[in-house]
Structure 1
Amino acid sequence: MRKIKILTDSTCDLPKDIIEKYDIGIMPLFVVFGEENYRDGVDLQPEGLFKLVKEKGTLPKTAALSPYDCLGYFREYIDQDMDIIAITISSKISSTYQNALVAASEFPEGRIWVVDSQNITAGEGMLAIIAAKMAQEGKTPQEIVTKLEEIIPKVKVHFVIDTLEYLYKGGRCSALQNLLGTALKIRPIIGVKDGCMLVAGKTRGDKKKALNQIIDWALQDKQEIDFNQVFVISSLGGEEEAVYIKDCLSKVLVDTEIIVGLAGCVISCHCGEKTTGIIYIKK
């Protein structure tokens, strides 16, 4: 059996040490300021992203991987006689999945398996970790993809945003339209369901109430958290909030690994600074 290479895109928000540990390949999406394109995590880091936002006085756009981009990443490993499992950001949020399918069709059948994570950030990244572990165990591509498809509906993602501006202008969460008139009174909690971002809950008052709400939701699932792993991801400026969440979770989830990570540029383009979330998989 050929060696299997696990690829995912840069919206997975996995820390560098985990990417290296599991030999996961990263395909960067793009951040676009006018005519200038930046590869997420390669040409542009979050600090540089928000510096450009301030300098230019405008919010950037993001762009998916094109079929041509995917073709290049796939060919690199096919030429090494490896099979590929490529896990992408939700197809309802980005065209990366469809473009990866187009690219995969250029190679012999069965060499490239493209999986729609139906999720974002570490909700996608956790699938890549599971796939990489299974590949190391000698599982076949079919076995890995079947397992991922079983897990995908069980991934839980909730995050608290600091400002509605990025998500609303980015058009990735249309439900926010109804909250704009009360933005100063209502703080929405964003979740992911069936591949789409939605308003999973609302709190009134300061941000800590919303953070405590997503902590409570995670702890309500404490007996159901699978793989003994929880991710806490924050965008730039949310590092203290991430530590607060980790400390709260650690007091109860004593046997669970809690990994803190920083959101990349593409995710940050849509959530803004000081966004913090909890991601895990239910049994």
Structure 2
Amino acid sequence: MIKILTDSTSDIDLNQAKELGIDIIPLKVIINGQEYKDRIDLQPDEFYHLLTTSTTLPTTSQPSPQDFLTHYEEAKKHGDSVIVMTLSSVISGTYQSANIAAGIAKYDDIYVIDSLATTQMLRLLVLKAVTLRDQNMDVKDIVKTLEEYKHRIRIYAFVDTLEYLYKGGRLSKTAATAGTLLKFKPIIGLKDGKLEMFAKARGTQKATAKIIDLIHEDGDIDFDEPICVGFTGNDDGLDKFEQILRDEFGFGEVLHGCVGPVIGTHAGPGARLISYVRKEI
């Protein structure tokens, strides 16, 4: 049997995880001195309420090796293979914790993948792993496929406010103030596992148009793979954002998802995103 593990930054809630037959290791979120387990003690809507009312920016901490080791030892006992997909090692030490635990477990059938991703990107990688597992693919072939597949996953988002990028040290006060006055919306995403600002545009309409430009520049969307449209905070206006993208690219059904604390802390509420898989070149 193949066990699939990921962390809570995949933004897969516990009910979905149960349906998919996977296990989620929670990160911890610290707000106003109080520690919460992501999506166990703290759901996304509660997190955004605390984020907007807190005077200090929340911090997150990685799971400990022990959090992974418990799952590894259970798999070892049953002779199961384990595939672990963690959020980007550039963003967090979660990947390191998963590897330390694998060393302690002394079990050769554990495969730890640095997704170079988080939020809906990581979710798409996990869904691919589930699909391949359910097709009874050999574990080593699944890992090889996922290592190639992860480089094709993209995410683009615009943020509604510059406040949190400034508070998190990703924008200077001058840039944040000027941007707010001009109603700039930064277009952010992940590149090589790192949170980056790709562009900025004035207003929602132009920000959405810029995301469309970035997708076209990068290559075609693979419509045989899932597409996710997501948000931070609340989903007001998400249907309009989705419809503009749908009109441009002509895709069918999409997944929806709310971004959790790790990226949500930097983006703040009101962000809109699309995550998809680029066609193989």
TM norm. shorter chain > 0.5? yes
TM-score (ref. length: structure 1):
0.88
Segment drifting more, 40-49 vs 224-233 = 224-233
Equivalenced residues, count: 276
Deviations 1:29-56 (A, max 9, x none): 1101244210110000122223333554
Segment drifting more, 92-101 vs 57-66 = 57-66
The runs of 5 or more residues in structure 2 that have no matched partner are none
Q: Which amino acid in the other structure matches residue 233 of structure 1?
A: G
C-alpha contact 1:15 1:261 (8 A) present in aligned 2: no
Segment drifting more, 130-139 vs 158-167 = 158-167
Q: Does 1:200 align with 2:201?
A: no
Three-state SS of the structure 2 residue aligned to 1:183 is: helix
C-alpha contact 1:104 1:112 (8 A) present in aligned 2: yes
TM-score (ref. length: structure 2):
0.88
C-alpha deviation, 1:211, in angstroms: 2.3
Segment drifting more, 15-24 vs 112-121 = 15-24
2:102 alignment partner in structure 1: 104
Q: Does 1:234 align with 2:238?
A: no
2:84 alignment partner in structure 1: 86
C-alpha deviation, 1:61, in angstroms: 0.7
C-alpha contact 2:51 2:265 (8 A) present in aligned 1: no
Segment drifting more, 176-185 vs 150-159 = 176-185
Match of 2:162 among 161, 164, 174: 164
| Residues in 2 aligned to 1:16 and 1:131: alpha-carbon distance in whole angstroms | 17
| Residues in 1 aligned to 2:23 and 2:258: alpha-carbon distance in whole angstroms | 18
C-alpha deviation, 1:166, in angstroms: 2.2
Change (3 A) 1:224 1:274: closer
1:109-188 map, 5 Å:
109-171=107-169, 174=170, 176-177=171-172, 179-184=175-180, 185=182, 186-188=184-186
Match of 2:258 among 249, 258, 262: 262
Q: Does 1:282 align with 2:278?
A: yes
C-alpha contact 2:87 2:118 (8 A) present in aligned 1: yes
- Aligned alpha-carbon RMSD (Å): 2.3
Q: Which amino acid in the other structure matches residue 8 of structure 2?
A: S
Change (3 A) 1:209 1:66: same
C-alpha deviation, 1:244, in angstroms: 1.6
Q: Which amino acid in the other structure matches residue 132 of structure 1?
A: V
1:32 alignment partner in structure 2: 30
C-alpha deviation, 1:249, in angstroms: 2.9
C-alpha contact 1:89 1:97 (8 A) present in aligned 2: yes
C-alpha contact 1:228 1:257 (8 A) present in aligned 2: no
Q: Does 1:249 align with 2:245?
A: yes
| Residues in 2 aligned to 1:118 and 1:85: alpha-carbon distance in whole angstroms | 15
Deviations 1:52-96 (A, max 9, x none): 335542221111112122222333443343211110110000000
Three-state SS of the structure 1 residue aligned to 2:257 is: strand
Q: Which amino acid in the other structure matches residue 78 of structure 1?
A: K
Change (3 A) 1:28 1:154: same
| Residues in 2 aligned to 1:146 and 1:4: alpha-carbon distance in whole angstroms | 15
C-alpha contact 1:191 1:198 (8 A) present in aligned 2: yes
Change (3 A) 1:76 1:236: farther
Change (3 A) 1:54 1:196: closer
